[in-house]
Amino acid sequence: VVVNLYPFRETIAKPDVTFAEAIENIDIGGPTMVRAAAKNYNHVAIVVNPDQYGPVLAEIRENGDVSDDMRLQLARAAFKHTSEYDTWIHQYLQQQLDGETEFPQVLQLQLEKAQELRYGENPHQRAAFYRESESKHASVGAAKQLQGKELSFNNIVDLHAALELVREFTSPAAVIIKHTNPCGTACAQTLSEAYKKAFEADPVSAFGGIIGLNRPLDGETARAVSALFAEAIIAPDFSAEALEILGAKKNLRLLATGGASLEPAPYMDMKRVAGGLLLQNSDNFDNPRAELKVVTKKAPTEAAWEDLLFAWKVAKHVKSNAIVVAKGGVTLGVGAGQMNRVGAAKIAFEQAAEQAVGAVLASDAFFPFRDTVDAAAKAGITAIIQPGGSVRDEESIQAADEHGIAMIFTGVRHFKH
């Protein structure tokens, strides 16, 4: 039995589809026939996808019949097919009743297993990677692996972190990620220059990292990258020269997202907790400069403004509490995941050392006390960008004025957990 259902999904994808057209394209008899045939798989081979025609015909030509095993596989595929079909109908009708909403009353997910992984975050944990069947934007799930070992659980998590950060920038940018945090991020006139600066920002932590690039990887950048032991690289594409150079590193995983560059892409962020699932839209909020507020007597220089905006974008992708010190489009120090903000700042200052003099600082959330501003002044910071919103904001502003530091309030927090 071969059945092609009415194209309901394709119909509702049309921008001008009417409700009547959608209803008309709900198949009734087809799913009934499919389910009946699938239930009777011992005697019937049910075919619901043109991709199945070849294997079924080949088996008939070779054996004169369809084997028991294939009939069972076809039945499983048939029930999956009708289940997905009904899901699209349910979601469409739910949307008609609830209107356009990000958070439906019933959340139904359709994910396909891309691969079983050797293990999870740790060797004693079992894991698999599930991929969205349709991804409209550049993503780790939709990327094509060109070479290297099989991706690990941690590789996939870090590749996502690298991709989400590097797509923040329109100029050539590079990032090196360790444990989802950027140890080095840079923007420059060329991709090779951006990568070299990102590496020099923290060469110790870069070892064994994940590299993200927002331009196709060229030969010059590939030669620079080949000197580092890295786990994986994700970029829009790889030139033939780059593939030849990096081909010598057989285990290095290369992932191409497609396209010439990367654009920020919205998605629904999910976090699993025992007994439930947290759902939120991705943190793609970008403050226009005109909406940012100078709250100190001193205003940033034009060069400081550029660095503040750069550091602010990086801080959004650092685990909270997060402090980023930057200058010249390069991170100099990153304090990530600390339980108090001044502690994160001290880590960033220690890493930046004397380079912090004349640099800027970005904080993902407000300062509860003036201590971080005082520490920044001692390190030589000239400008700060932070959300503001603390009951002690005036104390931080006063401290900045005392030290001659310019400070910007964004009005937006960027916690990351």
Going by pLDDT thresholds of 50, 70 and 90, the confidence category of residue 260 is low
Q: Are residues 246 and 116 in the same domain?
A: yes
Q: Are residues 77 and 140 in the same domain?
A: no
Structural domain that includes position 359: 289-409
Q: Are residues 144 and 242 in the same domain?
A: yes
The answer to whether the Cα torsion of 90, 91, 92, 94 is positive or negative is: positive
Tell me the CATH number at 47: 3.40.50.1380
| Per-residue model confidence as pLDDT tens digits over 53-79 | 999 999 999 999 999 999 999 999 999
Active site residues: 39, 179
Going by pLDDT thresholds of 50, 70 and 90, the confidence category of residue 374 is very high
Q: Are residues 236 and 366 in the same domain?
A: no
Cβ(209)–Cβ(230) under 8 Å?
Answer: yes
Q: Are residues 57 and 17 in the same domain?
A: yes
For residue 201, tell me if it sits in a domain: yes
| Per-residue model confidence as pLDDT tens digits over 30-45 | 999 999 999 999 999 9
Going by pLDDT thresholds of 50, 70 and 90, the confidence category of residue 98 is confident
In this structure, the number of other CB atoms found within 10 A of the CB of residue 365 comes to 18
Distance CA 171, CA 78 (A): 48
Count up the domains in the chain and report the number.
3
Task: Say yes or no to pLDDT of 94 above 80.
Answer: yes
pLDDT of residue 249: 96
pLDDT of residue 52: 96
For residue 264, tell me if it sits in a domain: no
Q: Are residues 90 and 216 in the same domain?
A: no
Q: Are residues 155 and 226 in the same domain?
A: yes
For residue 272, tell me if it sits in a domain: no
More confidently predicted of 273 and 287: 273
**Overall average pLDDT of the 122-144 stretch:** 90
pLDDT of residue 261: 67
**Overall average pLDDT of the 130-159 stretch:** 91
Task: Say yes or no to pLDDT of 324 above 80.
Answer: yes
Task: Say yes or no to pLDDT of 105 above 90.
Answer: no
Q: Are residues 322 and 391 in the same domain?
A: yes
Q: Are residues 329 and 394 in the same domain?
A: yes
Q: Are residues 323 and 403 in the same domain?
A: yes
* Among candidate residues 69, 86, 70, the one with its CA nearest the CA of residue 35: 86
Q: Are residues 244 and 138 in the same domain?
A: yes
Going by pLDDT thresholds of 50, 70 and 90, the confidence category of residue 136 is confident
**Overall average pLDDT of the 334-343 stretch:** 95
Q: Are residues 31 and 167 in the same domain?
A: no
pLDDT of residue 18: 96
How does DSSP classify residue 324?
E
CA end-to-end span of the chain: 51
pLDDT of residue 158: 97
Among the ranges given (7-11, 129-133, 260-264, 359-363), the one the predictor scored with the smallest mean pLDDT: 260-264
In this structure, the number of other CB atoms found within 10 A of the CB of residue 77 comes to 17
